[in-house]
Amino acid sequence: MNPPQSANINRTGLVEAGRRIEEESFRIIDAEMGDHSFTPEQWQVVRRVIHTTGDFDYANGMRFHPRAVAAGIEALKRGAEIITDTRMIQVGLSPWRLQWFGNSVVTPATHADSQEWAEKWGTTRSVAAFRHYAPRFNGAILAIGNAPTALLEVSRLIRDAGVRPALVVGVPVGFVQAAESKEMLWQMTEQPAITILGRKGGSSVAVAILHALLERAKTSNE
């Protein structure tokens, strides 16, 4: 059945009622957060993460390379590929936002041969798949929300193989190597990156960060 005309879906992909709820949520977050040290561009990313998680503690752990937001926006606007560690990120990204600049999304670990690569190299599927896809990293946006081993491999490839992603969104959640992988990324001062120090993170957080960057890219293009 077709939706009623009164739904009034706007250009953002949200109906007006949904947009009003989102805007009110952001107003509440702004009011409750109060003063902070983030730039206006960084705050839009942090605020959307808080909106997604309901957790103000993310404001304490989020870290931004000085060029992270600008680099991410530039890459999205030129249609850069988004490479993810999980299908959760891939399916979580709004198709209508991705259509704004024609950004495609790929998850290397879903490749039919990823198991074979992992057995050949004696490592996890995430590591093996990211290693195999390394030639596609230059100029791409990498989004890692679940696999610390993938983030460790990305950091190694940046350091040792000279790959140059436009942006790394490294926010894997967990108790084994998650904090260590994010700390390693944060220490790579030449690589534009967004991360969350400690154990928190996850695929939904990575999606929130990418949505914030896509929204900012859309606004700056108008």
Residues acting as catalytic residues: 51
| Helix (DSSP H) and strand (DSSP E) numbers for the chain | 11, 6
Residue 103 tokens read as: 């950004």
What number of residues does the chain have?
222
Three-class DSSP category at 66: coil
Q: Give the residues across from 169 on adjacent strands.
A: 143, 194
Residue 95 contacts residue 115 (beta carbons within 8 Å): no
Residue 52 contacts residue 201 (beta carbons within 8 Å): no
| C-alpha pair distances (Å), 59 with each of 14, 203, 220 | 26, 17, 24
Distance CA 24, CA 92 (A): 22
